[in-house]
Structure 1
């Protein structure tokens, strides 16, 4: 008989229905893992659940629609509403990857085609229930809610596309009202930072969707409130926390239904859904179940109970969300708005709901800290990779199933926690690194204090020009102009992926050589760890995520450098298996041709890899700074002076002029502060000075990478635990509008 379902098929359908429910629950519980974690068991489980949920519900619907027996038709009547809800997905996840938003138009068309099968299933349900009683109408209401949630998911995917975000912005929107949160000069707590993030979210949305945010969008009194929050001792910390919260809200827009939930239609769906499901559950309890299999009845009860609990959870979560506060704050509704949001009742309700959130039990964190960045960054070091073995069984399996990139991502993506204290000190790498970021950004976007502003106003009245390079908010309306100010302050050129590898090699050689015979102080040790962490992080981006670096994708350059270094270690330094031995081998190979008659020829190391050769030369320049007794006025003088009086400097001076010009260019480009020390007088550099110059150089490169990376690449990383470069990028966007207090 056509359309007849065999017992095996019936049990298969039951199993798939249970799988669909389990996948739905896993997505509900673990979807927020992606805010803070990019790999691991929970992420793998989440990915599997997403795939099952995308397949299970359509499979069951297509098979149930073909059933011909009364029992099969009853399954359609009772399971159809829940399968439609599963198609719509949980509120806390729509897209697993950013590419899902890119193909949202195709998914919308697929939804229309899929609704043909759904409509046929609904029609079969209408025919089978002869007594159109209360249970039927309750089921029909749940079906309508399921269809609405399915459409809502598709619309959320469409609205998360940057083109739609850009076209949907309202140029005539009311100016942002920035309220004061906390006392003047005090650090914002998590909830206060989250409320401010909602009010400044347009800056982050404009950065991702690539449209300008006018400074006039903030009233004069708003700017004053912002200066209170982002000034004084805690101002930079407040800005960093607000930016992390904004990125978490941007994650909501791109990867959840937040944009659709917090509308009048979204709230209506969440109010109706638990009412309809609860009514259906009560009516089904009293409904006669003659002819129904016990397994089907049990599955139906489970579906009803779980769906009702989830509907209640989504309703309470929507009400307790700060998105709801921002929505109603922008649309005050008279006494109701005042009674709920201004009286403190909503805040007490939110604290109660958040404390009961299963996500808090998973992350074991405070009320809002689950939205903050975890502080984990990838760490990849070329020297460690070569000296600590590269042929493990796990690596072979991963590269056989996936690729080398997947292995690097899996092993090195969370190697460093910036918030942890450094060795023998209470200071953290994060504090030192972000202080340096603040210092660098303040050079491009300094915020004038009140006293200086008054002085400038007096000068303006007298007709005196404003100092060159001073920053003013009214001049920062164009994002291109603001970026030019930063580029000018940093002095970088667009293409520099090879510069990352050159400076990484130079940093490693310098730190390895000095660590072997230098006693670092506590301050120098912290700076050294910050330099190493930033250098390894940038190398991780070059190795695993070249799309996060601007310019051409030079993956082949990284692979060639790694292979050359590995061969050098295997041939000359393998016995000791130490980074120091490898660094010394590189030094000796670079010096090998300097004593020959043809001083313009390539060195042995340069024949192997120009990245390694130039990195070692820059490291030798830094090492020479620690021992040279001569006054160092510029880098050209250093290359022409013999630091040790043994002829090496003369060799450097006589080598090919183009080669010397490139070395000079690289040093001035990568470590510009090294050539600005002409007034020091005689004597070598102190180690602390060189470490500060290296950290400053890496921070400049980090900022440049952040600002020149594409918005799509940043968006992809939001769904994978966020990225340090994304945080630095949005900090720069805020600094260009609000300015940065100098340290």
Structure 2
């Protein structure tokens, strides 16, 4: 700290006006900064569900963290303000004290984000303690600054508004995991009444059934809860009558409910109590603004503090109006209105809301891609990228820069759904424990290809990835199985290279470096610098296994390209190689999705969504959780 002790001295000598500004306006500037963070979070907080880029995540993350810090700093400064300063107007102290309840509102966060990550929801008790102590500080500030002036009469309504706003956030955070951890008779009765509700849906509102079915599929499964005691797939939950696009739409809506439960105020706002509290809060805020305008109407343009406070209250009110106007345009509003669809007002409004909601972007609709051969061919400029040792992750950053994203088309969705249905014949409603075995058995190829899936999962992914590349070059078919195999191959490599936490493989880094060294050595030794030339050589000439000289002993005997060539040759001799290849990739993807921790699926939700989470949810609805839990206890 002594190293930078000269900074305030330099500022005081060179820029004395900055010190004067901070002395006079520090609290007001902090509150204004907090409001800016609230606006950023209100606008961009919900966009995490469909934006994959790191820039939006960084803006939201920094605003989320700094908003709390700025509010706490401002509250701390408010506790030591000078009361009844003879050099300032009588109302100066009251104006500053009025900022304390506004800071309570800022600590409540906007509706679109209450938690940045899952960990924030698990700190419910700590948040309650923070709430109690923060409210105590605000009360102490208001009592300390209280006098008989008219401005002090504004303390109560703005304090009520701040309490409600902050309380909503605590309620939302605690409700994620503390509520509904055990099944009740009301849950069972509600589930039994759902089929009747679905039958009574108004037929003149297109697409309404997607929202209702998605909500009740979510509500009965509760996929975000690891210990939800019972779930049995029922006939009314089935999506069999839907085409592929509608299946994915319903799943996307269901994942939207899951996102809202974990990261927003949605579940608590769309209740009778939530709506009541919201309008009480807004009424108190408007009452404060109106009272302030009446009390200080004669000096708006004469006193900068008054003008600032008035502008601040207007800004907070506009932000609240924005959030209230956004309430009806939510999937939660639609499913809550369905129960009252016979009322004239709802009957008029519901079709419009459904139509607007169908236009919403629900996820990125992109699939990550990483190709090992392309990475090895075009890695020269990546070597100039250096990351400080204390930061680490240099290799992963290089891989990230070579990764891409591809739009998910209907053919890929069909391929996944068809593959999952085919695998159901083998697994029934049992947990997903196979990563290629069931497909090989269905295609009578276990004897020839069993070796390729018996190794570690990360090694299997790399071997099948390189074999798919060779087959795609030497035996291309213009079919969805062929194109889908290429996309899924690059996607599984993307998970291994960019999102290894999804696979939970401790050796992924060693595997990737060993594969990279092998492929790179082949390219250098063969003097190959282009993709077609490399694949042509791999397709026509046998590559002898070579020791790259890197990696632990357990990988010394693993010759990546030799195994990939062997697998590609065996696959090309199959009657329908791309049917087999695509089915293996689908099974590997299903295995990954099913065995990925719920925590990691929720992480994918706030990073633009991922098709892996769609697959996981579809598999979860096809698994008899009750019988599985009964058999494992």
Per-residue CA shift, 1:146-187, capped at 9, x if unaligned? Answer: 1222132123223324xx356254354223213447999x9x
Residue 323 of structure 2: aligned partner: 314
Aligned equivalent of 1:430, options 395, 409, 412: 412
Q: How large is the RMSD of aligned CA atoms in angstroms?
A: 3.7
Q: How far off is 1:251 after superposition?
A: 0.1
Structure 2 residue 605 is matched with structure 1 residue 718: yes
Structure 2 residue 396 is matched with structure 1 residue 440: no
Residue 38 of structure 1: aligned partner: 52
- Whether the 8 Å CA contact 1:376–1:414 is kept in 2: the answer is no
Aligned equivalent of 1:48, options 62, 74, 78: 62
Residue 378 of structure 2: aligned partner: 388
- Whether the 8 Å CA contact 1:509–1:616 is kept in 2: the answer is yes
Residue 467 of structure 2: aligned partner: 506
Structure 2 residue 565 is matched with structure 1 residue 549: no
Q: CA, structure 1 residues 327+550, in 2 after alignment: closer, same or farther (shift >3 Å)? A: same
Residue 199 of structure 1: aligned partner: 216
Distance 1:322 1:621 in 2: 49
Structure 2 SS opposite 1:573:
coil
Structure 2 residue 543 is matched with structure 1 residue 590: yes
Residue 90 of structure 1: aligned partner: 110
Q: TM-score, normalised by structure 2?
A: 0.80
Q: How far off is 1:391 after superposition?
A: 2.7
Q: How far off is 1:344 after superposition?
A: 5.1
Residue 293 of structure 2: aligned partner: 285
Per-residue CA shift, 1:343-384, capped at 9, x if unaligned? Answer: 3523544666799xxxxxxxxxx5334353332111001001
Q: CA, structure 1 residues 166+733, in 2 after alignment: closer, same or farther (shift >3 Å)? A: same
Matched ranges for 1:504-583 at <5 A = 504-514=465-475, 520=477, 522-523=478-479, 526-550=480-504, 552-574=506-528, 576-581=529-534
Distance 1:42 1:695 in 2: 34
Q: How far off is 1:194 after superposition?
A: 1.8
Aligned length: 576
Residue 260 of structure 1: aligned partner: 268
Residue 449 of structure 2: aligned partner: none
Distance 2:392 2:246 in 1: 41
Gaps of 5+ in 1: 333-337, 356-365, 420-427, 446-470, 594-605, 626-673, 675-684, 739-743
Q: How far off is 1:718 after superposition?
A: 1.0
- Whether the 8 Å CA contact 1:379–1:415 is kept in 2: the answer is yes
Matched ranges for 1:85-234 at <5 A = 85-125=105-145, 127=146, 129-131=147-149, 133=150, 136-161=152-177, 164=178, 167=181, 169-170=183-184, 172-173=186-187, 174-176=189-191, 177-178=194-195, 179-180=197-198, 191-206=208-223, 208-215=225-232, 223=235, 225-226=236-237, 230-232=239-241, 234=242
Residue 551 of structure 2: aligned partner: none
Per-residue CA shift, 1:300-344, capped at 9, x if unaligned? Answer: 222222222232333343355442454576xx7xxxxx5xx4235
- Whether the 8 Å CA contact 1:546–1:554 is kept in 2: the answer is yes
Residue 570 of structure 2: aligned partner: 621
- Whether the 8 Å CA contact 1:204–1:730 is kept in 2: the answer is no
Residue 305 of structure 2: aligned partner: 296
- Whether the 8 Å CA contact 1:412–1:540 is kept in 2: the answer is no
Per-residue CA shift, 1:528-580, capped at 9, x if unaligned? Answer: 22111100110010111111115545322222222332233233334x33254
Distance 1:393 1:120 in 2: 58
Structure 2 SS opposite 1:91:
coil
Distance 1:399 1:388 in 2: 24
Per-residue CA shift, 1:116-136, capped at 9, x if unaligned? Answer: 4333223234x2x423x5x54
Residue 699 of structure 1: aligned partner: 586
Per-residue CA shift, 1:264-308, capped at 9, x if unaligned? Answer: 332222111221111211111121376997432232222222222
Per-residue CA shift, 1:214-260, capped at 9, x if unaligned? Answer: 438x5xxxx3x555xx334x355433321111111100001001222
Q: CA, structure 1 residues 183+394, in 2 after alignment: closer, same or farther (shift >3 Å)? A: farther
- Whether the 8 Å CA contact 1:94–1:256 is kept in 2: the answer is yes
Structure 2 residue 622 is matched with structure 1 residue 735: yes
Residue 13 of structure 2: aligned partner: none
Distance 1:147 1:725 in 2: 40
Distance 1:75 1:261 in 2: 31
Residue 452 of structure 1: aligned partner: none
Q: How far off is 1:55 after superposition?
A: 1.8
Q: CA, structure 1 residues 100+392, in 2 after alignment: closer, same or farther (shift >3 Å)? A: same
Distance 1:195 1:403 in 2: 44
Distance 1:538 1:708 in 2: 14
Structure 2 SS opposite 1:378:
strand
Distance 1:703 1:39 in 2: 25
Distance 2:497 2:125 in 1: 33
Per-residue CA shift, 1:419-470, capped at 9, x if unaligned? Answer: 2xxxxxxxx443443343343354257xxxxxxxxxxxxxxxxxxxxxxxxx
Q: How far off is 1:44 after superposition?
A: 3.0
Matched ranges for 1:364-513 at <5 A = 367-370=357-360, 372-392=362-382, 395-396=385-386, 403-404=393-394, 407=397, 411=401, 415-419=405-409, 428-444=410-426, 481=430, 483=432, 496-513=457-474
Aligned equivalent of 1:245, options 253, 260, 280: 253
Distance 2:389 2:540 in 1: 33
Q: CA, structure 1 residues 303+290, in 2 after alignment: closer, same or farther (shift >3 Å)? A: closer
Q: TM-score, normalised by structure 1?
A: 0.69
Gaps of 5+ in 2: 1-18, 442-452, 547-554, 626-633
